[in-house]
Structure formats: structure tokens, C-alpha cells
Amino acid sequence: MLDQLKKSVLEANLELVKYGLVILTWGNVSGIDRKSGLIVIKPSGVDYEKMTAKDMVVVDLNGKVVDGTKRPSSDTPSHIELYKAFPGIGGITHTHSTNASAFAQACMEVPCLGTTHADHFAGPVPVTRFLTPEEIEAGYELNTGTVIVEKFKEMDYQTVPGILVAGHGPFCWGKDPHDSVKNSLILERVAEMAIKTLSLNSGSKELPAHISDKHFQRKHGKDAYYGQEGY
């Protein structure tokens, strides 16, 4: 099972390069085996073109390395906090993709300005608060996860599968590693659309709720009818 998860996590990390979501070593994808409570994650600072499935690092929910010869991603504590808080997810992606990171650096949520956004996120993509000096000193990466979880006390992580960490960048999640990458790609594209829309008309209004709700529900609601079964 872990060998299969390692392969899936490797492939998902390579998708970040394929979709132009990362340069250099800026990003990581992880996946979790819920039965064992073990997480597979990209090794820290390793070039994507050099990685193999054997390079993936396995950690437990306490952050202890249980398999692998390399150090896990420095963002591992953030991933762990999300897996603990969001039991319905199976994969997490973190990038510094340009447009989503621009919103994060501006400390602005990504507004739902059109139906492309509404098809995938039930409302604006939120942004966290800044970490305090005390939180950074106590555990920067762990508390990065904590402020994400804090935001979702008032939101549904399953209908808004992503967030912007203030001054930092996006985290997205999904049912598995590949799904989390897909959501990361979608977030980057709708962020790009939002920036271009607001540059054309800074007074652009959010999509009316009756339209945005329709688009989200037709894909994700109990009576969803978009697409085909099994695809």
C-alpha cells in the first residue's frame, strides 16, 4: 500500500512541474494512508527531475520519519495539522504559484467573480491572518497549519478545498494527492482570472449567489448532473 502511495505522491509532485505551478523546488505534495496513519511527502529541497518514488519520505502523524533516507519537506508539520483536522482529505498540495501567491501577499481572498470559480469553490477562497511572533517561535510550520485550521472553524473544508496563507502562498487539498494538485491548478487559474478581471474593472462585483450556488451544486451537490459516472 505504501509503495503505491509513494508512486502516486511522486506522480502528483511531477504534475506541479507539468502544470507550471512550481519552479526550482518551490512546492510539495503529500498523501495519507488513513488506515495506518502514515503520510508520504516529497523530500526537502530535491529537484523534481531527479526524484524517484524511493525518495519519498514516510512520516507518522507525530512527524517521525518511519521510512526514507532523506529529510521530509520542511512544510511537513503544516500537512500533518491539516490531516488531523480534516478527516475527509487524502492529499495536500502547497505551491508558490504566481497568481495565488499574489493574492496571499496582498492579504486578499480570491473573490468569486465568475462561473469558473463557482464550479469548484463554494465562495471566495479565504486568506489566513498573519502568524504572531510567538507562533513563529513556537513552531512556524506547525502553526501555519494551525492558522489554516482556525479559518475553517467558520467554513467547510470540503466545499472550499483551498486557502491562501497570508504573505506566503496557497495550500489545497483533495480526496487524494492528484485531486489536491487539480485543486491547486484550479485555484491558480481562477486567481489569474480574478487579477485580470479586476485590472479591467476594479469595481467588478462578485457573482450573484443564485448563479454561483447553481454552478457549484450542479457539479458537487446531491443532485449533481455534470459529467459522467465513473469519470
Q: Has 75 been annotated as catalytic?
A: no
Confidence band, pLDDT 50/70/90 cuts, at residue 64: very high
List the grid coordinates of 166.
497570508
Question: Considering only CA atoms, which of 120, 121, 97, 93 is closest in space to residue 180?
Answer: 93
Which amino acid, 28?
Answer: N
Instruction: Kindly name the residue from 55, 119, 140, 213 that is annotated as catalytic.
Output: 119
The 10s digit of each residue's pLDDT in 115-131 is 999 999 999 999 999 99
φ, ψ dihedrals at 58, nearest 5°: -105, 125
Q: Sign of dihedral through CA atoms 1, 92, 21, 187?
A: positive
Q: What does the alpha-carbon distance between residue 74 and residue 64 come to, in Å, rounded to a whole number?
A: 13
Fold observed for domain 2-220: L-fuculose-1-phosphate Aldolase (3.40.225)
pTM above 0.85, yes or no: yes
Q: Are 197 and 135 in contact (CB under 8 A)?
A: no
Listed range (52-56, 159-163, 226-230) with the worst mean pLDDT: 226-230
Sorting pLDDT into bands at 50, 70 and 90, what band is 154?
A: confident
Rg (CA), the chain: 17
| 119 part of the active site | yes
How much is the mean pLDDT over the chain?
96
Q: Which residues contact 69 (CB under 8 A, 6 or more apart)?
A: none
- pLDDT for 227 equals 87
Pair 57, 71: CB distance under 8 Å: yes
Q: Are 48 and 13 in contact (CB under 8 A)?
A: yes
